[in-house]
Chains A and B, each alone.
Chain A
Amino acid sequence: MKPRVAVFKFASCDGCQLQFLNAEDELLVLTQEVDLVSFPEARSRELRGPYDISFVEGSITTPQDARRIIKVRADSRALITIGACATAGGIQALRNWASIEDYKRIVYPSPEFISTLSTSTPISEHVRVDFEIWGCPIDKRQLLAVIRSLLSGARPALPTHSVCMECKRSGAVCVAVAQGEPCLGPVTRAGCGAICPNVHRGCYGCFGPSDDPNMPSFAALLRQHGLSRDEAVRRLRGINGYVRPLRDTSDAIEQGDE
């Protein structure tokens, strides 16, 4: 029997699950090898679990979703998060530094109709996660590599070194050195192909932190680039801002103990 694969969505933009559909050349081959039993964006059929592999997009932001993810976990042999929202809380985790009541009032004339949690949190804060694919959005080649590994019974593995290594190999000119850009490459996980330096701008960290980033040294570097405290905090509090090393560093800068 073909492996049963499901895709679930929580608070997100749909961009990571779109990467399945963006695998144009591989998509029709993939559908021969696995049984996509639940993928609401792409098919009407939705079958019940158990699932061999569940891909989860999006963060947990509502009481209903906090309950739903527990059911998804129970139904899944392997649960893989796809993207910054599911893996780190996403850009919507900026609410974690704000008052949700203020946020509701800013967006909705009648905030009382809105049911939401005060935080946006990654899936791993709620249930056990077997593997995380980082990126905003995830990279299609990384997604396919992980599926390949899972189908062959191997443990998925993706690079955890920094964008700098990838950037050098791509032959791009260092934008931090040449343009004085506050590039997050030194502390950001590889996987995107160093696309930002290749279009002449600094990395903004959409693949999350690399393995063991030297955050104190990086914080000092940001300030040497002339960023004010506010600017340095904003630079770190982006797409993956709520994940530990970035969160701790931005909080420290904000409180003035860099």
Chain B
Amino acid sequence: MPSSKATSRTIHVSALTRVEGEGALHLAVEAGKVVDLRFEIFEPPRFFEALLRGRHAAEAPDIAARICGICPVAYQMSAAHAFERLFHVQIDPAVRALRRLFYCGEWMESHALHIHMLAAPDFLGCESIVTLAEKERPAVERGLRLKQVGNAIIALLGGRSVHPVGACIGGFTRVPRPAELAALRERLARAHDDAVACVRWVAGFDLPDRHLDIEFVALRHPSEYPMNEGRVVSSKGIDCAQEEFDDCFEEHQVPHSNALHAKVKGRGPYFLGPLARMNLNFDRLGPEVAALARATGISFPSANPYTSIIVRALELVYAVAEAMRIIDAYEPPPAPSAPFRPRAGIGRAITEAPRGMLYQMYETDERGIIRSARIVPPTSQNQAQMEADLRDLAPGLLRRSQAEATRLCETAIRNYDPCISCATHFLKLDIVER
């Protein structure tokens, strides 16, 4: 970026850390006004949509999972649902419940990781979980326990927690015996106390008070808090079927990023993730979590992105309680998975990854060979909103020191829990004052 010493100040700050992926922020300011802002994603492209071509539908859940090591379950679930819709596969209710349990595990694992290891250090003046553990050891240990239980759920259903192997089109390759779930149930009872304590802990953080004009987008299900199913709704009136995603949203490429940007057609950026889900589905939380949410003092819907960390903790409580409910009602299905017969056509599905809606579309031939694939991860959808958020933040940064400006930007970006591997981890902040 052009700058001359006489008229400009360049602030160069090191990498964006404690996110998943590589990125940078460029900011140009003229007379106190932001004239250019670019949030760059450098994550090297891996071309999943291209390499999926020519593969069989049955391979897609395992391949798509490799997009993200933090939320592989989400990739497997959106892929499986897309093909099930295409091949008209009926899922047994008990299998459906197990998938929800699988997702509860991933929300727990991902949210516990994000709250304790990535975001909390920001609000407690720590540089990482290592220094946080010196200050707040019991809270960190509690977070690690929560994460462990989430991982245990995924591993029980899928063999391991990162890139589990048990999910397939039609269900699972093996379903657990009730006795295996009973052992998990005991750990979940303790996790419930831990999750409630976690809500109280994060609710005590001194969070910035910034309210933005944001369009929140999430799934909405007739009776459940959304995970695997539901219509796409927004805080500004969108209400469409999952199949109509492309009618309501569009992706476009910007020169400065390896991740495509997304926006609401004819409007602008939108915000996905826990805060969007809770704002749009508060009435689906159930009395316990709703009461806990009210007790935090936040009024929902909340337009303050910093409340995301509290919402994640509330979703932890929800996921733990929901997991216990599913286990208590569990009766093994007649078969672990429903068989499928491939056919030519297009299948689409959206599920709620921990960091927001994940859309996948596949077109197959009559043998089930993939002809084209489209994967729209939550982080790439949030990217434009992250830029809008930073643009709003920018004027206040100029009077700050280099270190302080970076910290403020990083904290703001971490509200979105960006998984840049998905969309595509380093933020280099350049502020140029002209």
Question: Do the beta carbons of A114 and B69 come within 8 Å of each other?
Answer: no
Partner of B51, one of A25, A92, A200, A204: A92
List B413-434 residues whose CB lies under 8 Å from chain A: 419, 421, 425-426
Question: Do the beta carbons of A15 and B72 come within 8 Å of each other?
Answer: yes
Question: Do the beta carbons of A14 and B18 come within 8 Å of each other?
Answer: no
CA distance A11 to B51 in the complex (A): 15
Contact with B along A56-96 (1 / 0, CB 8 A): 00000110010000000000000000000000001110110
A206 within 8 A of B: yes
CA distance A117 to B227 in the complex (A): 37
Interface residue count on the B side (C-beta < 8 Å): 69
Partner of A18, one of B47, B67, B70, B129: B70
Partner of B144, one of A16, A27, A44, A91: A27
A104 to chain B: closest CB distance in Å? 8
When C-beta atoms are compared, the residue in chain B nearest to A93 turns out to be: B51
Binds B, one of A35-43, A148-156, A158-166, A217-225: A35-43
Binds A, one of B252-260, B342-350, B391-399: B252-260
Contact with B along A6-44 (1 / 0, CB 8 A): 000111111111110110110110010000100011111
Binds A, one of B58-66, B186-194, B325-333, B381-389: B58-66
B162 within 8 A of A: yes
Question: Do the beta carbons of A41 and B19 come within 8 Å of each other?
Answer: yes
B284 within 8 A of A: no
Q: A137: which B residues are within 8 A, CB to CB?
A: 69, 160, 162-163
CA distance A154 to B112 in the complex (A): 35
Tell me whether A108 and B253 are in contact in the complex, defined as CB-CB below 8 angstroms, given that A98-B50, A103-B50, A234-B55 are known contacts. yes
Question: Do the beta carbons of A44 and B128 come within 8 Å of each other?
Answer: yes
Binds A, one of B28-36, B76-84, B166-174, B273-281: B166-174
When C-beta atoms are compared, the residue in chain B nearest to A27 turns out to be: B144
When C-beta atoms are compared, the residue in chain A nearest to B47 turns out to be: A103
Q: A13: which B residues are within 8 A, CB to CB?
A: 66-69, 72, 421
Contact with A along B32-59 (1 / 0, CB 8 A): 0000000000011111111101111001
Question: Do the beta carbons of A192 and B160 come within 8 Å of each other?
Answer: yes
Binds A, one of B89-97, B145-153, B218-226: B145-153
List A185-215 residues whose CB lies under 8 Å from chain B: 192-193, 195-196, 198-201, 204, 206
List A225-239 residues whose CB lies under 8 Å from chain B: 231, 234, 238-239
Q: B55: which A residues are within 8 A, CB to CB?
A: 234
B72 to chain A: closest CB distance in Å? 7
B52 to chain A: closest CB distance in Å? 9
Question: Do the beta carbons of B117 and A42 come within 8 Å of each other?
Answer: yes
When C-beta atoms are compared, the residue in chain A nearest to B407 turns out to be: A44
Tell me whether A46 and B140 are in contact in the complex, defined as CB-CB below 8 angstroms, given that A22-B162, A199-B174 are known contacts. no
CA distance A90 to B252 in the complex (A): 28
CA distance A16 to B22 in the complex (A): 16
A169 within 8 A of B: no
A183 within 8 A of B: no
B26 to chain A: closest CB distance in Å? 16
Question: Do the beta carbons of A22 and B255 come within 8 Å of each other?
Answer: no
Interface residue count on the A side (C-beta < 8 Å): 63
B165 within 8 A of A: yes
Q: A95: which B residues are within 8 A, CB to CB?
A: 47, 50-51
Question: Do the beta carbons of A31 and B68 come within 8 Å of each other?
Answer: no
B14 within 8 A of A: yes
Count: A-B pairs, CB below 8 Å: 178
B133 within 8 A of A: yes
Partner of B17, one of A15, A46, A108, A231: A46
Partner of B130, one of A12, A18, A31, A195: A31
B21 within 8 A of A: yes
Tell me whether A234 and B56 are in contact in the complex, defined as CB-CB below 8 angstroms, given that A12-B421, A200-B174 are known contacts. yes
CA distance A19 to B410 in the complex (A): 24
CA distance A234 to B370 in the complex (A): 13
Question: Do the beta carbons of B173 and A102 come within 8 Å of each other?
Answer: no
CA distance A10 to B425 in the complex (A): 10
CA distance A199 to B145 in the complex (A): 25
Question: Do the beta carbons of A201 and B17 come within 8 Å of each other?
Answer: no
Question: Do the beta carbons of B17 and A92 come within 8 Å of each other?
Answer: no
List B279-333 residues whose CB lies under 8 Å from chain A: none
CA distance A98 to B367 in the complex (A): 22
B127 to chain A: closest CB distance in Å? 5
Q: B17: which A residues are within 8 A, CB to CB?
A: 40-44, 46
Partner of B20, one of A14, A102, A192: A14
A109 within 8 A of B: yes
Partner of A44, one of B68, B127, B161, B255: B127
A110 within 8 A of B: yes
Question: Do the beta carbons of B133 and A103 come within 8 Å of each other?
Answer: no
CA distance A15 to B51 in the complex (A): 19
Question: Do the beta carbons of B62 and A113 come within 8 Å of each other?
Answer: no
Q: B148: which A residues are within 8 A, CB to CB?
A: 24-25
CA distance A61 to B130 in the complex (A): 32
- Residue from A42, A45, A104, A193 whose CB has the most chain B CB atoms within 10 Å: A42
Question: Do the beta carbons of A199 and B158 come within 8 Å of each other?
Answer: yes
Q: B53: which A residues are within 8 A, CB to CB?
A: 106
B15 within 8 A of A: yes
CA distance A24 to B147 in the complex (A): 8
Question: Do the beta carbons of B162 and A15 come within 8 Å of each other?
Answer: yes
A238 to chain B: closest CB distance in Å? 8
A142 within 8 A of B: no
Known: A12-B69, A91-B51, A106-B50. 5 other contacts (CB 8 A): A12-B421, A24-B145, A25-B148, A109-B253, A120-B46
Task: Jot down 13 A-B pairs with beta carbons below 8 A, ordered by A.
Answer: A42-B18, A44-B410, A61-B45, A62-B44, A92-B47, A95-B50, A103-B50, A104-B47, A106-B372, A107-B47, A199-B159, A199-B173, A201-B166
**Among all A-B residue pairs, the 9 with the closest Cβ atoms:** A15-B69, A43-B128, A195-B159, A103-B50, A92-B46, A24-B144, A106-B50, A94-B51, A13-B69
Measured CB to CB, the residues of A under 8 A from B are 9-19, 21-22, 24-25, 27-28, 31, 36, 40-46, 61-62, 65, 90-92, 94-95, 98, 102-104, 106-110, 113-114, 116, 120, 136-137, 192-193, 195-196, 198-201, 204, 206, 231, 234, 238-239
